[in-house]
Amino acid sequence: MLGNVDAIARPKPLSKAFIRRLQSIVGASRVFTKWEDLLSYSYDGTLFRAAPQAVVLPSSKEAVMGCVAAAYEEGIPIVPRGAASGLSGGSVPARGGIVIDLTSMNSVISLDQEQRLVTVEAGYITTHLHRLAESHHLFYPPDPASSDFSTIGGNIAEGAGGPRGYKYGTTIDYVAGLEIVAAAGQHLTLRGPARGGPGGPMALMVGSEGTLGIITAATLNLIPLPEATGTLLAVFDTLQASGQAIEAIVSSGVVPSTLEILDQSAIQCVESYQPSGLPRDAAAVLLIEVDGLTEAVTEESEKVSHICRAAGATSVRRAADERERAELWRARKAVSPSTVRIKPGKIVEDATVPRSRITDMIMRTREIGEKHRLATVIYGHAGDGNLHPNFIVDPQDHLEIQRAEEAIRELFEAAWELGGTLSGEHGIGLAKKDYLQGELGPTEMALTRAVKRALDPEGLFNPGKFV
């Protein structure tokens, strides 16, 4: 299942009677069974590949309910999918079945400016929500790198985070309500506390990766839009100095909205792909943002600049205006696509360690990459210790893929040794499922499986994944 399109097995076709039933629910033009269509739904942002037996494109929750009910009656696996930007294999149909593509369900249901609540369908694009909120002088902080095309339903299913997670938290902290389609097509409306993230049964859905049901709509908390933002780029000639700066900032009392790190390999990838003025010879750069009231932003920007220089930064500059700020973020978001200049494939992980061990984790990752003769690019959210090591590979080179798989095992072991965890925001999916018991232990795994059996007794929602 890990590899190129040529290796994808053709699944057994579903019965014509079942296909006709799906067509009667969503319309004939919204059911796909041709091989070229199935191939288009066989992947996500990883190298995992597996084709579904059919794809449906519902435009309403009632249509989702009908499709789930039909599949449940026939014992056919059900795999929800948004933009397929996930990085753990979560939306890859590992055991065939039907993919339910939710991207047509992309409407704004309501926005309550006074209560600072917005309700959108699952297929609503994350960046569109950012713009909608800002047009009402409100703010939706979760900002995964895929925000220009990822969907809200997918963000919730994966527990997505992003650069602003250190100060503002991740997607789970903003979910106030969910509409889901559960086993046998049952529709449920779940609510959490008025503020402060989900509680009760709703909390189980966040990060469940489509294994417990299908999210069709979400009510999300918004917060007031910060008055001002200060963006700084600090350059370091050693990784150790950048690590000292991170620790000093965190302990200073300043809480940056973002605190990102790019190592030299990431810098050089960006500059070769999309020249942005980053220093190619730097060992690392920190991209730091503070936000809030204008006076506070000015004071905190100066304080962060002083901290970085004291830690050994060779230069610190603050973006003079929104154009310069956008240029810096354009460089940061270019890291991931820039790696294709090295080789056409990559395996992206998100091992997370305590902030004090970030430098150690970067060094260990480099050693692992060198040991297995893999090009390695490292960047991530330094504020909460969430690193994104990339092993760059050629998917056609099976020996290189084998070396990468061994490197990933060693990477996870290193994260555990440093007091960290398998995943900060990308989820478990197919990529990490074989390692999950090593982190949770048998008791927690048994509890996880018990929850799965209770909510999905037939085991049809996204089977073959972490539960």
The 10s digit of each residue's pLDDT in 52-101 is: 999 999 999 999 999 999 999 999 999 999 999 999 999 999 999 999 99
Instruction: Please check whether residue 207 lies inside any domain of the structure.
Output: yes
- Does residue 214 share a domain with residue 246? no
From the number of C-beta atoms within 10 Å of its C-beta (0-12, 13-18, 19+), residue 443 rates as exposed
Tell me, what DSSP letter sits at residue 177?
E
Residue 185 is part of a domain; what is its CATH number? 3.30.465.10
- Does residue 369 share a domain with residue 273? no
- Model pLDDT for residues 244-273, shown as the tens digit of each residue: 999 999 999 999 999 999 999 999 999 999
- Does residue 188 share a domain with residue 170? yes
For residue 354, pLDDT over 50 is answered with: yes
Instruction: Please check whether residue 365 lies inside any domain of the structure.
Output: yes
- Does residue 89 share a domain with residue 165? no
- Does residue 173 share a domain with residue 118? yes
Contact assessment for residue 91 and residue 41, using Cβ atoms and an 8 Å cutoff: no
- Does residue 25 share a domain with residue 39? yes
In the numeric block, the tokens 């460089």 are attached to 331
- Model pLDDT for residues 358-369, shown as the tens digit of each residue: 999 999 999 999
Instruction: Please check whether residue 303 lies inside any domain of the structure.
Output: yes
In the numeric block, the tokens 């009667």 are attached to 24
Instruction: Please check whether residue 352 lies inside any domain of the structure.
Output: yes
Q: What is the pLDDT of residue 1?
A: 52
In this predicted model, which residue has the larger pLDDT, 401 or 5? 401
Last residue of a domain, one of 83, 101, 119: 101
Instruction: Please check whether residue 446 lies inside any domain of the structure.
Output: no
- Does residue 147 share a domain with residue 211? yes
Q: What is the pLDDT of residue 143?
A: 94
Instruction: Please check whether residue 115 lies inside any domain of the structure.
Output: yes
Q: Once rounded to an integer, what is the mean pLDDT over residues 335-364?
A: 92
**How does the average pLDDT of the chain come out, rounded?**
94
For residue 401, pLDDT over 70 is answered with: yes
Q: What is the pLDDT of residue 5?
A: 46
- Does residue 133 share a domain with residue 61? no
Centre a 10 Å sphere on the Cβ of residue 95 and count the other Cβ atoms it contains. Answer: 17
- Model pLDDT for residues 203-248, shown as the tens digit of each residue: 899 999 999 999 999 999 999 999 999 999 999 999 999 999 999 9
The count of domains in the chain is: 4
- Does residue 346 share a domain with residue 319? no
Domain that holds residue 431: 342-440
Of the chain, the percentage scoring pLDDT greater than 90 comes to: 91
Residue 191 sits at φ, ψ, to 5 deg, of -125, 150
- Model pLDDT for residues 376-398, shown as the tens digit of each residue: 999 999 998 999 999 999 999 99
Task: Tell me, letter by letter, the H, E, C secondary structure of the chain.
Answer: CECCHHHCCCCCCCCHHHHHHHHHHHCHHHEECCHHHHHHCCCCCCCECCCCCEEECCCCHHHHHHHHHHHHHHCCCEEEECCCCCCCCCCCCCCCCEEEECCCCCCEEEEECCCCEEEEECCCEHHHHHHHHHHCCEECCCCCCCCCCCEHHHHHHHCCCCCCHHHHCCHHHHEEEEEEECHHHCEEEEECCCCCCCCCHHHHHCCCCCCCCEEEEEEEECEECCCEEEEEEEEECCHHHHHHHHHHHHCCCCCCCEEEEEEHHHHHHHHHHCCCCCCCCCCEEEEEEEEECHHHHHHHHHHHHHHHHHHCCCEEEECCCHHHHHHHHHHHHCHHHHHHHCCCEEEECECECCHHHHHHHHHHHHHHHHHCCCEEEEEEEHHHCEEEEEEEECCCCHHHHHHHHHHHHHHHHHHHHCCCECECCCCCCCCCHHHHHHHHCHHHHHHHHHHHHHHCCCCCECCCCCC
pLDDT band at 195 (very low <50, low <70, confident <90, very high): low
For residue 49, pLDDT over 70 is answered with: yes
Last residue of a domain, one of 205, 224, 243: 224
- Does residue 118 share a domain with residue 146? yes
pLDDT band at 196 (very low <50, low <70, confident <90, very high): low
Residue 415 is part of a domain; what is its CATH number? 3.30.70.2740
- Model pLDDT for residues 402-422, shown as the tens digit of each residue: 999 999 999 999 999 999 999
CA 280 to chain centre: 28
- Does residue 171 share a domain with residue 115? yes
Residue 220 sits at φ, ψ, to 5 deg, of -125, 140
Last residue of a domain, one of 181, 207, 224: 224
- Does residue 193 share a domain with residue 120? yes
Instruction: Please check whether residue 459 lies inside any domain of the structure.
Output: no
For residue 6, pLDDT over 70 is answered with: no
Comparing C-alpha atoms, which of 45, 47, 36, 35 is closest to residue 4? Answer: 47
Instruction: Please check whether residue 449 lies inside any domain of the structure.
Output: no
Residue 299 is part of a domain; what is its CATH number? 3.30.70.2190
| DSSP line for 286-354 | EEEEEEESHHHHHHHHHHHHHHHHHHT-SEEEE--SHHHHHHHHHHHHTHHHHGGGT-SEEEE-B-B--
Centre a 10 Å sphere on the Cβ of residue 223 and count the other Cβ atoms it contains. Answer: 14
Distance CA 399, CA 439 (A): 28
